[in-house]
Amino acid sequence: MSAELLDMARRIALQAGALAAERRREGVSVAASKSSDVDIVTAADRETEALIRALIALERPDDAFYGEESDAAAGSSGLVWVVDPIDGTVNYLYGSPAWAISIAVGELGEAGDAGAEPTAGWRALAGVVYAPSTGELFVASAGGGAWLEHVGSPDAAPERLLVNRGAELAHALIGTGFSYTAGRRAAQAEVLRTLLPLVRDIRRVGSAALDLCAVAAGRLDGYYERHLNPWDHAAGALIAAEAGAQVAGQNGAPATADLLIAAEPELFAALHGALLAAE
């Protein structure tokens, strides 16, 4: 089942990525704002999600759907698709390559409710993060490992992804992101001010999905962020976990909007402690 779902997610992500890339070439403008006037959505976000949703419904009409840009829909199959049509919309707007299509599918938990947050207690089965600007396609299935495929390079074999091991906090390259509301940003800046002297350096790319894939690929040692939505990390979290990362929230709880940390287990513990001390 996981392999079939992964194949479907891969095919849909490639089609969605082609559409989003075409719209980027045509020119992008802001269609609306969300949590603040700098938290924006483009027409391409909405069009790309509509395409993804339609393609899922065509193949699996009984599955639930939970996306960033449209209303959630319940299903009867016990599976839910969690979609961010363009993760890194501000990067997309400005023409920066760090944006991606994020698609995950998993089993609904007992607490899951497609009208609220169906990822509560869910179990991810397959996840895909596709960055059309670079041709990098990150994929994972539950128990099947995490892999990097190179779209447009047919001779390039998929690469097995494994997290960095043995990095001490002082030598760790850590990724993070920030909220689009001023008050939350101020609080995040204070945490960062305390954390920065304790690590090698900090990176802020602007896409949670790609940050999690960077942990999986060893391009970051760890990553943390608060105030994420399920669609921001559903696929990337599975990819990081299948590459050997511990992905969790505060005090071992599942990752939620309160906190998500991803790193190999020993670094996870050190980063978790440093973040709690910085609060």
What span, in angstroms and rounded, lies between the C-alpha atoms of 211 and 205? 7
Question: Is 87 flagged in the annotation as binding?
Answer: yes
**Same domain assignment for residues 68 and 137:** yes
- Give the rounded percent of residues in the chain with a pLDDT score beyond 90: 85
Question: Which residue among 160, 188, 208 closes a domain?
Answer: 160
Contact assessment for residue 211 and residue 223, using Cβ atoms and an 8 Å cutoff: yes
What CATH number has the domain bearing residue 41?
Answer: 3.30.540.10
**Same domain assignment for residues 254 and 219:** yes
3-state secondary structure the chain: CHHHHHHHHHHHHHHHHHHHHHHHHHCCCEEEECCCCCCEEEHHHHHHHHHHHHHHHHHCCCCEEEECCCCCECCCCCEEEEEEEEECHHHHHHCCCCCEEEEEEEECCCCCCCCCCCCCCCEEEEEEEEECCCCEEEEEECCCEEEEEECCCCCCCCEECCCCCCCCHHHCEEECCCCCCHHHHHHHHHHHHHHHHHCCEEECCCCHHHHHHHHHHCCCCEEEECCCCHHHHHHHHHHHHHCCCEEECHHHCCCECCEEEEECHHHHHHHHHHHHHHC
Would you say residue 113 has pLDDT above 70?
no
Tokens 């891969």 label which residue? 10
Contact assessment for residue 13 and residue 140, using Cβ atoms and an 8 Å cutoff: no
Question: Which residue among 160, 187, 222 closes a domain?
Answer: 160
Distance of CA 268 to the CA centre of its chain: 18
Per-residue confidence (pLDDT) for residue 109, from 0 to 100: 81
Would you say residue 35 has pLDDT above 80?
no
How confident is residue 38, by pLDDT bands cut at 50, 70 and 90? low
**Same domain assignment for residues 41 and 103:** yes
**Same domain assignment for residues 16 and 116:** yes
140/31: higher pLDDT:
140
**Same domain assignment for residues 52 and 110:** yes
**Same domain assignment for residues 41 and 148:** yes
In the chain, the number of structural domains is: 2
What tens digit of pLDDT does each residue of 121-133 get?
A: 899 999 999 999 9
Question: Is 232 flagged in the annotation as binding?
Answer: yes
What CATH number has the domain bearing residue 257?
Answer: 3.40.190.80
Q: What is the mean pLDDT of residues 48-61?
A: 98
Comparing 29-33, 80-84, 89-93, 157-161, the range with the smallest average pLDDT is: 29-33
**Same domain assignment for residues 188 and 134:** no
Would you say residue 273 has pLDDT above 60?
yes
**Same domain assignment for residues 122 and 196:** no
Question: Is 68 flagged in the annotation as binding?
Answer: yes
116/173: higher pLDDT:
173
Q: What is the mean pLDDT of residues 69-95?
A: 95
**Same domain assignment for residues 135 and 26:** yes
**Same domain assignment for residues 253 and 125:** no
- Please name which of 276, 246, 232 lies closest in space to residue 127, comparing C-alpha atoms: 232
What span, in angstroms and rounded, lies between the C-alpha atoms of 139 and 129? 7
Per-residue confidence (pLDDT) for residue 41, from 0 to 100: 83
| 250, amino acid identity | Q
Question: Which residue among 127, 160, 193 closes a domain?
Answer: 160
Per-residue confidence (pLDDT) for residue 116, from 0 to 100: 53
What tens digit of pLDDT does each residue of 146-205 get?
A: 999 999 888 889 999 999 999 999 999 999 999 989 999 999 999 999 999 999 999 999
What span, in angstroms and rounded, lies between the C-alpha atoms of 237 and 256? 11
Per-residue confidence (pLDDT) for residue 36, from 0 to 100: 72
Would you say residue 256 has pLDDT above 80?
yes
**Same domain assignment for residues 110 and 221:** no
Q: What is the pTM of this model?
A: 0.95
**Same domain assignment for residues 113 and 151:** yes
Per-residue confidence (pLDDT) for residue 55, from 0 to 100: 98
Would you say residue 112 has pLDDT above 90?
no
The parent domain of residue 205 ranges over: 169-278
